[in-house]
Amino acid sequence: MYSKKVLDLFFNPKFFGRMKKPDAKGTAGNPICGDRLNFYLKIKNDKIKDISYETLGCSTAIAVSEIVCQLVKGKTLDHASQLSHKDVLKKLGKVPPIKVHCLHLGIDALRKAIESYNKN
């Protein structure tokens, strides 16, 4: 059911954990499946210098969180805000149709983190 890449990201996370004193935090969840994602950002000179996450969910939700971190770390906020679920899917590979909502949760949580930073 899960690809080798999804399982590798699930069993070997690099960005997992709550960040101390983040500059921004974004949360997204799905009340139907119970998945919940939190992204934490450290920002300097309009770039994401560090990113981490806490995800309560399935292996696809965790793999999506890892991919989002890989794709936006070191990028500008503008670049990161343009990230789409299709970009994540391209990097992650095939996911079961029932798990596609995890892609959207990852993007939603990232965008909420960027929005919370921009409001300050």
What are 10-51's pLDDT values in tens digits?
999 999 999 999 999 999 998 888 899 999 999 999 999 999
Confidence tier at 3 by pLDDT (50, 70, 90): confident
| Average pLDDT of the residues in 100-115 | 95
Model pLDDT, residue 105: 94
Q: Report the percent of the chain where pLDDT is more than 70.
A: 99
Q: How confident is the model at residue 97 (pLDDT cuts 50, 70, 90)?
A: confident
User: How many other β-carbons are positioned within 10 Å of the β-carbon of residue 92?
Assistant: 24
CB contact at 8 A, 16 and 53 = yes
> Which pTM does this prediction carry?
0.94
The one-letter amino acid at 38: N
Q: At what angle do helices 85-92 and 4-11 cross, to 10 degrees?
A: 100
- Nearest CA to 119 out of 23, 7, 19, 22 is that of 23
4-119 has CATH 3.90.1010.10 classification: yes
